[in-house]
Structure 1
Amino acid sequence: MLRLRCKTKNGSHIMQGLTHQSCVQELKSKVEELTGIPCDVQKIMVGYPPSSLDLRNGDAHLKDYPIKSGDTLIVEEEKNKPKPQDHPTVTKTPRLEASPVLARRVVPADNSCLFTSVNYVVEGGVYEPSCAPEMRGLIAQIVSSNPTAYSEAVLGKSNEEYCTWIRRDDTWGGAIEVSILSKFYQCEICVVDTQTVRVDRFGEDAGYHKRVLLIYDGIHYDPLQKETPGSDVPPQTIFSSTDDVILAQALELADEARRKRQFTDVNRFALRCMVCQTGLVGQKEAREHAKETGHTNFGEV
């Protein structure tokens, strides 16, 4: 399979579903689907410096061109070519101006961002700010009912101490809680880390059919959703567990945040709030600042 990035002046898209045996016309059709540029006026370039590809033979195979998996195809509209005209008796369907994109849905920094985020995505985009106590109680009930599986070696504290601890509204959830919630909701929970640009997949091997996505910056969790800008269409938060395109998009989002240094390296502790530019030292100050101000965008200094 070829995994290509199709880049235009308006943004970039991941292109999948092509192989070296695919023909030129399949490539052009895929480009038109992603960019809206008609096949007849596409100028497709590859390499550095970019050089144009001669794609006039629509039946030629992509193996005959210098295209390999991972390449970025730069696509422009050739202004000197007339666009294909519709027959005058046919009404042309207007093209949608916006395509769905994967985006972060910010939730409050109130020590319960993990629980709020998980509840938001598993409920299909329904925001319920008062859900945290119920979810904390649910986790405590599951843990207390199985002291063998949830022992001190797993929890870092006794089963009873943990159940008391997780019910408090000033404690933070993490990997243990995500794993428990993945099993309870019978869905794969993918956490995308903006510092390392990796995906931790909880419930990956359990055979679940559903997948939800969170993004994590070292301190704060937010849910991810697919939304259409400027549209009233409800956001999508639940995806198929076989949808690897959505994982690639999530990693792109994380990589963009990393390039902007929108992450918190809790091992180095020199931080700055990217909202109000306040200098902070350590995880504790970052937590307190987030709780007091609602600011959740921290960068490493």
Structure 2
Amino acid sequence: MTGLNLRIRFPDGQGVLKGIEGSTTLESLIAKGLDTMNVKQDVKECSQILSGFPPKPLDMTDKSVTIESLGLKSGDTLIFKLSDKTSSLPSGQVFGTNPSTPAQNGVETAAPSNSETNGIITNDTNRVLENSEESLNKRLKTNSSDIVLKRVVVPADNSCLFTSINYCMCGEVIQSEHIQFMREIISATVSSDQEKYSEAFLGKSNEKYCSWIQTKDAWGGAIEVQILAEYFQVMIVVVDTQSVSLTKFGEFGNFDQMMMLIYDGIHYDALCQQSPTRKSIFSSKDERVLDTARILGETERKAHNYTDTTGFTLKCLVCGHKMKGQKEAQSHAMSTKHTNFSEV
């Protein structure tokens, strides 16, 4: 029997467990999950696993039971809740921090003691307020500038959207044949709701779309991003380098996490934070990383790192044919299977 493929979600990211046998024990599954997400098992432990929709806790009383007996199916999402092994602090509190002080971008900051404000001890209220405001402005400036986002370039093979999303989840650029499961997810979602995904919505019949999207020549766009955002329960933010707009797919799903992609008119790449820590999954409430993404988008726009899809002229590097605009390029790709283009 083919093993199960399970999606796992942690507070700091997502991943996929592939080929898990139904006879695998819950204890072994937890260990595999922690290992996949590089969680230090001598420091953290899994206190709860949620599964299903809406997510419900799995019975973890007996960890020797098999995952088959728990009713898990291939494609299920498991949400891991972690706790400190030796800590007696309340859930969510980090040692050395004030629990009333919110975390920003995963970094906890301790609140100042009652005897000092921003390092200044004084009875002069005006001086305290003045210096507090100056210090706050410096902190905001530092917080908005200490984040470094990097564009992770993926192959331009008509699967760039899916490859970029997979990179954000797993931190690895893989060959397009290994992300075929995303095309299958989209096809299954569309075919299951023919009223919502009508011909008027898709631009082709539901049946033809479902066959088309599973081919390696099908390009992904807004429809596919929205479906995958809802399926993986993560907000996907797309930075457009021509308009410098940030489009949030899955914004109304109230998802806790988000990933970021950058789009130049014809190609998607993943965005990964390089500093102060490396990661590609963020809190959906992290406005600082969104601001940084806008700055990156503006930098790319000024460098003209985008393609005007309505008026650009492309040349097919396979046959030399010249085309104008996105529609002609898509038509040429569909009729010839040529996908190696260069802007003229």
Q: What TM-score results when the alignment is normalised by the length of structure 2?
A: 0.52
In the alignment, structure 1 residue 126 sits paired with structure 2 residue 195: no
Matching residue of 2:128: 59
Aligned in 2, Cα 1:61/1:209: closer, same or farther, shift over 3 Å? same
* Distance in 2 between residues matched to 1:258 and 1:119, nearest whole Å: 25
- Within 5 A, what are the aligned runs for 1:130-169? 130-169=177-216
Matching residue of 1:254: 297
Matching residue of 1:207: 254
- Within 5 A, what are the aligned runs for 1:1-301? 26=118, 59-61=128-130, 101-123=148-170, 125-129=171-175, 130-228=177-275, 235-270=278-313, 281-282=323-324, 283=326, 291-292=339-340
* Distance in 2 between residues matched to 1:205 and 1:159, nearest whole Å: 25
CA-atom RMSD in angstroms: 3.8
Does structure 2 retain, via aligned residues, the 8 Å contact 1:117–1:222? yes
Q: What is the CA-CA distance between 1:101 and the residue it aligns to?
A: 1.2
* Distance in 1 between residues matched to 2:306 and 2:314, nearest whole Å: 9
Does structure 2 retain, via aligned residues, the 8 Å contact 1:264–1:271? no
Q: What is the CA-CA distance between 1:64 and the residue it aligns to?
A: 8.8
* Distance in 2 between residues matched to 1:227 and 1:141, nearest whole Å: 35
Kindly, what percent of the aligned residue pairs are identical? 42
* Structure 2 unmatched runs, 5+: 1-108, 110-116, 121-125
Aligned in 2, Cα 1:259/1:148: closer, same or farther, shift over 3 Å? same
Note the alpha carbon deviations across 1:45-103, whole angstroms, 9 max, x for none: xxxxxxxxxxxx963527998xxx9xx98x9xxxxxxxxxxxxxxxxxxxxxxx65111
Secondary structure in 2 matching 1:161: helix
Does structure 2 retain, via aligned residues, the 8 Å contact 1:119–1:131? no
Does structure 2 retain, via aligned residues, the 8 Å contact 1:182–1:189? yes
* Distance in 2 between residues matched to 1:172 and 1:132, nearest whole Å: 13
Note the alpha carbon deviations across 1:125-176, whole angstroms, 9 max, x for none: 1322233322111211111122122111221111101001111111110000
* Distance in 2 between residues matched to 1:236 and 1:272, nearest whole Å: 37
Note the alpha carbon deviations across 1:12-56, whole angstroms, 9 max, x for none: xxxxx9xxxxxxx85x99xxxxxxxxxxxxxxxxxxxxxxxxxxx
Aligned in 2, Cα 1:105/1:58: closer, same or farther, shift over 3 Å? farther
Task: Give the aligned residue type for 2:213.
Answer: I
* Structure 1 unmatched runs, 5+: 1-16, 18-24, 30-56, 76-98
* Distance in 2 between residues matched to 1:272 and 1:196, nearest whole Å: 24
Secondary structure in 1 matching 2:247: strand
